[in-house]
Structure 1
């Protein structure tokens, strides 16, 4: 777990038993907080060397469109390249946030990312999110 000052906002843990890197967001952050928090997420994710991420954003109430665009065009692709394979991010979201994200203009189904250095998917159930990550792991193992 992170001992970084951002840990109240985001707790990070590598679960080698599941081959999953978990981030649990504690509250809706101010946009100004995000650069340092995402830098810590990047640092620990790369340190763990794990390409399968579960991001629990159930305590967040909205996504900033500019941050979302940056995640999709810069942050996730760069991490996928640095980790040497497709970064798979399963978001666990509240029903309201999940619905808002999926109705938004930047939403794409996971299949859209087939040829990208990353893929994102959204879930309302943690078991489904973990199963999706494990399925991605199995797909990679047979390649």
Structure 2
């Protein structure tokens, strides 16, 4: 597996992964990133992930579909019996794009309503962590 284009830090005091992308990346690279995240999560036995996507400006429909319908359910199954909790830290601009795009909204609706994992989107890091650790 290639080195991820994101930073992945395990916080043992929180029992959570903190994942940050400094920039956009092509879809195959982001897929590799998510596989690396899952590998680190399995290594540390954690199913709590803060995903900081504030600096990723491009919204790739293919990634939205793949993460919510394929990757997150698979990750949830591999991390069971812990429930996979995904707190997604977004920029206000990204939240506005989500709200304005029916396609993006369909991926989010599917992800938020999914039974195998829990996903929460927020613009404030404190609130993102608070929800993640509930």
TM range (shorter): 0.7 to 0.9
Mapped contact 1:23–1:53 kept (Cα < 8 A) = yes
Q: Give the C-alpha shift of residue 122 in structure 1.
A: 0.7
Indicate yes or no: 2:88 matched with 1:91: yes
Q: Which has the higher contact order (CA 8 A, sep 6+)?
A: 2
Q: CA RMSD in A?
A: 1.9
| Cα drift, residue 81 of structure 1 | 1.0
Q: Which residue of 2 aligns with 1:5?
A: 3
Instruction: Give 5+ residue unaligned stretches, structure 1.
Output: 136-143
TM-score by length of 1: 0.80
Shift of the alpha carbon at 1:110?
7.6
Superposed, 1:15-26 pairs within 5 Å as 15-26=11-22
What is the aligned partner in structure 2 of residue 100 from structure 1?
Answer: 97
What TM-score, normalized to structure 2? 0.85
| SS of residue matched to 1:105 | helix
User: May I ask how many residue pairs the two structures share in their alignment?
Assistant: 128
